[in-house]
Structure 1
Amino acid sequence: MKPLIVLLLVFCIALLIVRAISGKYDIAFSGRIAMSCMLVFSAIGHFAFTKGMSLMMPQFIPFKLQIVYLTGVLEIIFAAGLLLPDFQVLTAWVLVVFLILVLPANIYASIKNVNYQKATFDGNGLAYLWFRIPLQFLFISWIYLSAMI
């Protein structure tokens, strides 16, 4: 829920700032700014809640902590790439693939009731998927509309 709030709030602020500076609304650019900020916000979670995020992966996956750190770094790289015109389309495609690849971790975490912030197994459970899966598709659509068209 917090990433969605960051995305929408930054989008509105970016729209107003871009309008004040350029004299026109640039929805796509404002969308990329918002997604970049959301990615940095999410990346911070990878470093602040590393242990809990490692619980989101099945037992058979090795190097969980390293994967959590790596995905946090990747999110920061994606955030920058969306704002660089020469890399925005490539970044968007890679980010879409990334979001599809991490969705199973969110599903697994919901099945196991992972609370990544507390690193416990008392999370929201399967009910969370009714929000999380559509949210993932919203993020993918947002990227497509703001960076690939």
Structure 2
Amino acid sequence: MKPLIILLVTFIISLFAIKFITKKYDFTLSARIAMSIMLVFTAIGHFVFTKGMSMMIPEFIPFKEKFVYITGVFEILLAIGLLIPNLKVISGWTLIIFLLLMLPANIYASINNLNYQKGTFDGNGLAYLWFRIPLQILFIIWTYISTIRI
């Protein structure tokens, strides 16, 4: 829920800040700024909740904590790429693929009732997927519209 709130609030703030500065609305730039800020926010979670996030990764994948750190850095790099005009399209496609690849980790965490913030197994369970899957789809559509379909 927090990433969605950050996405929407920063979109609105960016939209009006750009309007104030340039005297016109720039929806796609505002959307990319919002997605970038949301990505940095979620990337911070990779460093703060490393233990819990590593529990989201299936057992057969080695070096879980390193993988969590790498994906956190990757999110920061994507956030930067979305803001660089020459990199926004490739960053957008990369982010879409990344979001698709991360969905199984969210499903795995839900099936196992994982609370990644506490690193415990008392999370919301499968009910969380009713929110998470549409949210992931929203992030993918948001990214596509703001970076690729221009």
Q: Same fold (TM over 0.5)?
A: yes
- Between the two proteins, what is the percent identity of the paired residues? 65
Q: Structure 2 CA distance, aligned partners of 1:5 and 1:67?
A: 26
Report deviation, 1:11: 0.2
| Aligned positions, number | 149
Q: Which residue of 2 aligns with 1:25?
A: 25
Alignment of 1:90 with 2:90, yes or no, is yes
TM-score, length of structure 2 as denominator length:
0.99
Correspondence 1:62-81 to 2 at 5 A: 62-81=62-81
Q: What amino acid does structure 1 have at the position aligned with 2:83?
A: L
Q: Which residue of 1 aligns with 2:54?
A: 54
Q: Structure 2 CA distance, aligned partners of 1:87 and 1:146?
A: 13
Q: What amino acid does structure 2 have at the position aligned with 1:56?
A: M
- Which residues of structure 1 form unaligned runs of 5+? none
Q: What amino acid does structure 2 have at the position aligned with 1:8?
A: L
Report deviation, 1:59: 1.1
Over the residues paired in the alignment, what is the CA RMSD in angstroms?
0.4
Q: Structure 1 CA distance, aligned partners of 2:57 and 2:114?
A: 10
1:64-86 C-alpha deviation (Å, 9 max, x unpaired): 00100000000000000000000
TM-score, length of structure 1 as denominator length:
0.99
Alignment of 1:103 with 2:103, yes or no, is yes
List 4+ stretches of structure 1 deviating above 3 A. Answer: none
1:79-100 C-alpha deviation (Å, 9 max, x unpaired): 0000000000000001100000
- Which residues of structure 2 form unaligned runs of 5+? none
Q: Structure 2 CA distance, aligned partners of 1:74 and 1:65?
A: 14
Report deviation, 1:114: 0.5
Correspondence 1:103-142 to 2 at 5 A: 103-142=103-142
Q: What amino acid does structure 1 have at the position aligned with 2:140?
A: I
1:100-139 C-alpha deviation (Å, 9 max, x unpaired): 0010000000000000000000000000000000100000
Q: Structure 2 CA distance, aligned partners of 1:54 and 1:114?
A: 11
